[in-house]
Structure formats: C-alpha cells, structure tokens
Amino acid sequence: MESNRIAWETASRKHVDEYDELLDEARTRSALSPCELELLRPLLADSPAVVHLQSGHGLDDIALVAEGARSVVGVDFSSVAATAAQRRADELGVNCRYVVAELPGAPLRDGCADLVYTGKGALIWMPDLDAWAADVARLARPGGHLFVHEAHPMVPLWTWDEDEPRIRPDRGYFERSHVNDTFPANGAVEWQTTLAGIITAVLGAGLELRHVAEHPEPFWRWGDLDAAAWRGQLPNTFTLLARKPSWGTGPTGPVPWCRAGRSGRWGTSAA
Ligand SMILES: C[S@@+](CC[C@H](N)C(=O)[O-])C[C@H]1O[C@@H](n2cnc3c(N)ncnc32)[C@H](O)[C@@H]1O
C-alpha cells in the first residue's frame, strides 16, 4: 500500500504538470461517458451528495456537478492529486472538496452519500474488495446508490496488437494479481477480481444489484494506439449500479457457494 501511494504521488505530478490542459478539458467537455450518463442522469436529477472514492484528477467530479450533483467529496491517498483537483474545482467555482486518505476506511461519516461513485482504474488498487464494499455500504445512506464504471476484469488478458486481438499467454483471468508492463502504471502490482467476484463483494455488503452491463469501449486509450481488442469484439469496461436498501440491511457476508472453484473470487478456490 505504501509503495503504491508513493508511486501515485509521483504519477499524479502529471495532474499538476498538465494543470492548464485539464482545466480546459474540465471547462469544455464532460468526463462522463454516454454509458455512465445513461445510468447516472436519473440519480443526478435528485441533486445527490456524491462521494467519489479514488477521485484522482477530479474531472469526473466537475462533470458530476455539471450534471446535477449538489456536492462531491473526493477521497484519494495522493495529496498531489487531491491538491490539484481542489485547485481546479475552486478555480471553476464547483462544489467539490477533497480528502487525502487511504481506502478502504474513508474518514467520512456513515450514511453521508446519496451516491458513491468510483472506477476508471480504481478497483485494481483494492486488494480486499469485501472491505472496499463494506466501506461503500457504510458511506451510502439507506436508499443511496453505488455506481462503478471500471475496466472489465478480462482487460489484463488482451494484447495491444493492432492487427488482431490476442490473449496474453502470461496472464490468467483467475489470477490474484499481475505486474503492469505498460503505461501508465508500469511496474505496479495490480489486483485482479473476476466480474463474479466484484458482484459477490457488492452483494455481500448488503447492497442490492440494480444493473450490470459489459461494454466494448475502453474508458481510456493510450495516445494514437488503436488496439484490435478495442474494436468492438471484446469486453473492455463494465458498469454496475447497486442500492443500499432503505430499510437498512446489514451485510450478508460471503456467499460460500459462489466462492467455490474457479468461478469464485481470486484466492478463495475450493482448495
Ligand atoms: C487511475 S486513478 C483513477 C481515478 C479517477 N477515477 C480518475 O479518473 O482520475 C486511481 C486513483 O486511485 C488512487 N488510489 C490508489 N489506491 C488507493 C488507496 N488505497 N486509497 C486511496 N486512493 C487510492 C490513486 O492515488 C489514483 O488517484
């Protein structure tokens, strides 16, 4: 965790070095993609108080407020990222506040969020998704929502070949982690959780699943690269919407039969 934090402090210098470009981007176009807006618009119509876990450069937050959020509190363990995001939001006069803290375990009060928003390269940094989901469920008010737009767990398997899509022989869908060997997280250990594992963690925290969809478009592309894996044949992202029951259920805990064998979460095989 500490080496990841130091790596992110360094990587987040980009948000400072490219401050003006990002400010211009925040002013001129929404960071939210059409598949996000389709699900978020009905929720944003109620002017929710949003908590953004792993808020990074904060461009999503400016877009969330532009679409109707009353406020956004971003939480990120990179003080460089949070400081740049705060400066940008203040300069644009947008109601966003940033808290520097390690997750899970956001230093925010229980039930403070109408909507917990996260994704776009967030879950791969969480080694324990059960703990992450429990923190989400604690932050959401009864009747509040969790929204995730994230890289599909199959993505580490796709090559970036431009002629045709291929599967990397050195990676496995059911592995617990892999070492990133491309930009921007080169050298970092990324955690893997299957789509079933992510859903199971959300359900185990007592949240009700409202929507899960897999999408062919990646949320991010590297420069001019046009990988064949991004051209519509394969899943590259997913969206998930869950709701905390208004009658306030407690966590159900792990669902044992979902965890057995290779269909379960990483590290929890029947052995
Ligand atoms: C790829 S960025 C995604 C952030 C955001 N969605 C965006 O688009 O800018 C991942 C962020 O997670 C943060 N992060 C990683 N692990 C964390 C942890 N354990 N606690 C808090 N923040 C973390 C990093 O500092 C980084 O800003």
Determine the pLDDT at residue 72: 98
- Mean pLDDT over 109-122 rounds to 98
Question: In the predicted model, is pLDDT for residue 263 greater than 50?
Answer: no
CA–centroid distance, residue 37 to ligand 1 (Å): 21
CB of 56 sitting under 6 A from ligand 1: yes
CB of 8 sitting under 6 A from ligand 1: yes
Under 8 Å between Cβ of 123 and 129: yes
Determine the pLDDT at residue 11: 85
268 vs 144 pLDDT, higher one: 144
Backbone angles phi, psi at 61, to 5 degrees: -70, -40
CB of 138 sitting under 6 A from ligand 1: no
Question: In the predicted model, is pLDDT for residue 246 greater than 50?
Answer: yes
- Mean pLDDT over 139-145 rounds to 98
Mutate to test the pocket of ligand 1, among 9, 125, 128 (most ligand atoms within 8 A of CB): 125
Give the start-end residues of each E strand in the chain. Answer: 49-53, 71-76, 96-100, 113-119, 140-151, 177-179, 189-191, 208-215, 237-243
Under 8 Å between Cβ of 102 and 2: no
Mutate to test the pocket of ligand 1, among 3, 76, 108 (most ligand atoms within 8 A of CB): 76
- Mean pLDDT over 67-74 rounds to 98
For the CA atoms of 218, 98, 24, 226, what is the dihedral angle to 10 degrees?
-10
Q: What percent of the chain has pLDDT over 90?
A: 76
> In order of start, what are the domains of the chain with their CATH numbers?
2-263 (3.40.50.150)
Residue nearest atom 19 in ligand 1 by C-alpha distance: 103
Residue nearest atom 14 in ligand 1 by C-alpha distance: 54
Strand-by-strand arrangement of the 113-119 sheet = 96-100, 71-76, 49-53, 113-119, 140-151, 237-243, 208-215
Determine the pLDDT at residue 12: 87
CB of 190 sitting under 6 A from ligand 1: no
Determine the pLDDT at residue 82: 97
Q: How confident is the model at residue 126 (pLDDT cuts 50, 70, 90)?
A: very high
Q: How confident is the model at residue 260 (pLDDT cuts 50, 70, 90)?
A: very low
Q: Which of 269, 271, 270 lies closest to 174, judged by CA?
A: 269
pTM as predicted = 0.91
- Measured at the CA of 194, the angle between CA 174 and CA 109, to 5 degrees, comes to 135
Determine the pLDDT at residue 121: 94
Residue with tokens 């929204």: 147
Question: In the predicted model, is pLDDT for residue 270 greater than 80?
Answer: no
Q: Which atom of ligand 1 is nearest to the CA of 102?
A: 20
> What does the alpha-carbon distance between residue 146 and residue 207 come to, in Å, rounded to a whole number?
8
pLDDT in tens, 182-228: 766 667 789 999 999 999 999 999 999 999 999 999 998 888 899 99
Please enumerate, as own/partner, the contacts of 245-253 that have beta carbons within 8 Å and a separation of 24 or more.
Answer: 245/142, 245/143, 245/206, 245/207, 245/208, 246/142, 246/143, 247/142, 248/142, 249/206, 250/206, 251/134, 251/137, 251/204, 251/205, 251/206, 252/203, 252/204, 252/205, 252/206, 253/204
265 vs 215 pLDDT, higher one: 215
Beta bridge partner(s), residue 270 = none
Determine the pLDDT at residue 127: 94
Backbone angles phi, psi at 100, to 5 degrees: -90, 115
CB of 72 sitting under 6 A from ligand 1: no
Question: In the predicted model, is pLDDT for residue 267 greater than 50?
Answer: no
Of 71-80, 215-224, 248-257, the range with the lowest mean pLDDT is 248-257
Mutate to test the pocket of ligand 1, among 4, 36, 54, 99 (most ligand atoms within 8 A of CB): 54
Q: What percent of the chain has pLDDT over 70?
A: 90
> What does the alpha-carbon distance between residue 88 and residue 248 come to, in Å, rounded to a whole number?
36
